[in-house]
Structure 1
Amino acid sequence: MQLSDFNFNLPDELIARYPLASRSASRLLHLDAQGQYHDHQFTDLLNLLEAGDLLVLNDTKVMKARLKGKRATGGAVEVLVERLQDQFIAHCHIKASNSPKAGAELFIGPDAVKVTVQGRHENLFIVEFSQPILDVLDAYGQLPIPPYFNREAEAIDTERYQTVFNDPTKLASVAAPTASLHFDEALLQQLADKGIQKTFVTLHVGAGTFLPVRTDDIANHIMHSEWCEVSEAAVALIRETKARGNKVISVGTTATRAVESAAQAHAGKLAAWSGDTQIFIYPGYQFKVVDRLITNFHLPESTLLMLVSALSSRENVMQAYQHAVAERYRFFSYGDAMLIDQAQT
């Protein structure tokens, strides 16, 4: 399957660069198991899901991971913390006029917090902070909002680029699990009142989620690595849901990758698991856990678009995207949503 198979024309004005006033006010395009699509509001999930169904949500929290600083020579640098190794050492992306060498010292914020480059691991720099990293991020960091917003992070992003159910002890992502941004407390309560259950998994989203696919044959693409965890409690709820004939609905591509990785790690049978995943889901993949997917509209030629196409089909998804463009749906992280059913075979 070729990269160009996942291209489509997206007018710039359909990119949602700011959130709506209300989280749950988004539209929802339902792509059913027969490949037919239906226009809804996001709150129509109350009618589209059944009592006994299970929502699987990613409870990670986004770090204020973008830091601006200077080199010892005075040149500007930008440090994006990708992954915490411990309290003081992190793997980072660094933007500078020249790539810093091992031993280079960078200085963050007005207090000139020292950051020393230790070396590299693949495409990331390994750096040591002179103060606890999370303290530095809290004091000087900016939320790393997606590059396609074409703007700096603003006050509104502090609340709206986080889920309402994020776990503060899981502060480790550099991008939000954006399908979950549509849920507010009121909607979650209404779903619970109907008998729709929820469980949480964790996948710490890396900046690699925004990296383009650079191979014409998508099967040759190598996914970035992200850490995830699926608990015994989540596994038990998923098994119980399937045993009684209800649906497992993953909220977002990250929750999907987490539970499918846990199954993949155990020869296709879901079990508790934690570790790094590089799972790449594209058409032809056989889902082990997920029955339905709530997701946003994704970038052309992205691995996320390939994942959602695997659950339905490339043809079904691309036709639904054409409809979404024609009907002026809002795209990407702050945009509208889709509910995708696994295609009947």
Structure 2
Amino acid sequence: MPLDNIGYLFQAFLVINLEDFDFPLSDDRIAKYPAKNRDESKLMVVQRKSGKITISPHFRNIADWLYPSDHIFYNETRVSKRRVYLETKNQDRIHETIFIESRDSQYWNCLVRNSKKLKLGDILFSPVQKLEFIVFEKREKDIVLKSNITILEEFFDQEGNIPIPPYLKRKSEPIDDIRYQSIFSEGKAANSIAAPTASLHMSYELRKNLIEKGIQFHPLHLEIGFGTFQPIYDEDIIKKKLHKEKIFISPDTAIAHSLASENKERRIALGTTTLRSLEAMYRTSLDIRSGWEGETDIFLTPDDTIDTIDGLITNFHLPKSSLLLLVSAFAGSELIMESYKLAIENDFTFFSYGDAMLIVD
């Protein structure tokens, strides 16, 4: 390793040690299925200034902690059915495939299970239409598949499955088609590989009640990639960069955020993808009120200062994950790790279908 990299590594470890964000979690603490109703998950409220932690039996009680003047910013993205079980010609082998991104709708970067059994030129077939996919290129972390036709979202609707997270250790079921989508994604184009999971707690009734209370909702759009499930390494901390994700923030949402800031009204981010989007806009845009569209690889860690929000609604995340570091950047590492310990002691469930946390001052 070059000497300058060693210096950066030493500097990074002075600030962040991933081991500080590790915690034991038994398998039964991972929610394999969603709560019966969206707003019936448990809620933990963490107050940054006082350090007080309050446990509430249901997420819908979040209304008690929100003010009529609050603004909730949310990610409206919809999950695409990008998990397809491709078959060999004689159907003697099935390769579970996640279609990550396309170059021109015919060449796709994919994660393929049992990819070592494939060689260049091999042909896989889709289960319903029997469309051909040629193994065009094998790379270190993924495979490039070439289709014989243009692949559009209609293909995934017919052939694919909702790509629920790998830690659920099961195949997707009909309930996931509904509950692994947020209510905000209805009618939107499907272009994400994972859900903005904090939004999964929001029910139509709860949203209606919050709006009647005076709370305003503002959409933005971040396409969530499969990188959200990938582990992070010391090198990521050094570079302060993660996987790239596409973001669109309309002028209306940008203006609403700017006005809320000027009027000292609380800006609540519904989910970490929303926080990442707002931070990306403010760190790169020269004219905030015009909105913003672009890509970000921003990696927010506890040594960062976050000024774009006054509150965060989020789930309980994986140990040593980028999302846990991001939440710690907003609330402080010690307080977050204390709250996670308390969550485990009080039988909270974790990850995508698990319980929720509200962080406010």
Please indicate, yes or no, whether the TM-score normalized by the shorter chain is above 0.5. Answer: yes
Q: Which amino acid aligns with 1:247?
A: R
Check whether the contact 1:113–1:131 (CA below 8 A) recurs between aligned residues: no
How far apart, CA to CA, are the structure 1 residues paired with 2:227 and 2:287?
25
Q: Which residue of 2 aligns with 1:98?
A: 116
Aligned residues: 342
Q: Which amino acid aligns with 1:53?
A: D
Q: TM-score, normalised by structure 1?
A: 0.92
Cα displacement string for residues 309-335 of structure 1 (whole angstroms, at most 9, x for unaligned residues):
000110000001111011111111111
Give 1 or 2: higher helix fraction.
2
Q: Which residue of 2 aligns with 1:69?
A: 86
Give the C-alpha shift of residue 288 in structure 1: 3.5
Q: Which residue of 1 aligns with 2:153?
A: 134
Matched residue SS, 1:225: strand
Q: How does 1:1-345 map to 2 (within 5 A)?
A: 1-34=16-49, 35-40=51-56, 41-72=58-89, 75-98=93-116, 100=118, 103-119=121-137, 123-129=141-147, 130-215=149-234, 218-220=237-239, 222-266=241-285, 272-341=291-360
How far apart, CA to CA, are the structure 2 residues paired with 1:53 and 1:85?
41
Cα displacement string for residues 66-101 of structure 1 (whole angstroms, at most 9, x for unaligned residues):
011124575432220112444444332222342655
Check whether the contact 1:283–1:306 (CA below 8 A) recurs between aligned residues: yes
Measured on the aligned residues, the alpha-carbon RMSD in Å equals 2.2
Cα displacement string for residues 4-24 of structure 1 (whole angstroms, at most 9, x for unaligned residues):
010011122111111111100
Check whether the contact 1:83–1:172 (CA below 8 A) recurs between aligned residues: no
Give the C-alpha shift of residue 276 in structure 1: 1.8
Q: Which residue of 1 aligns with 2:4?
A: none
Check whether the contact 1:3–1:217 (CA below 8 A) recurs between aligned residues: no
Give the C-alpha shift of residue 268 in structure 1: 10
How far apart, CA to CA, are the structure 2 residues paired with 1:3 and 1:267?
34
How far apart, CA to CA, are the structure 1 residues paired with 2:60 and 2:299?
30
Q: TM-score, normalised by structure 2?
A: 0.88
Q: Which consecutive unaligned segments of at least 5 residues does structure 2 have?
A: 1-15
Q: Which amino acid aligns with 2:31?
A: A
Q: Report the identity percentage.
A: 34
How far apart, CA to CA, are the structure 1 residues paired with 2:265 and 2:229?
33
Cα displacement string for residues 176-212 of structure 1 (whole angstroms, at most 9, x for unaligned residues):
1000000010000000001100111111111111111
Q: Which amino acid aligns with 1:281?
A: L
Q: Which amino acid aligns with 2:41?
A: S
Q: Which amino acid aligns with 2:185?
A: N
Give the C-alpha shift of residue 142 in structure 1: 0.9
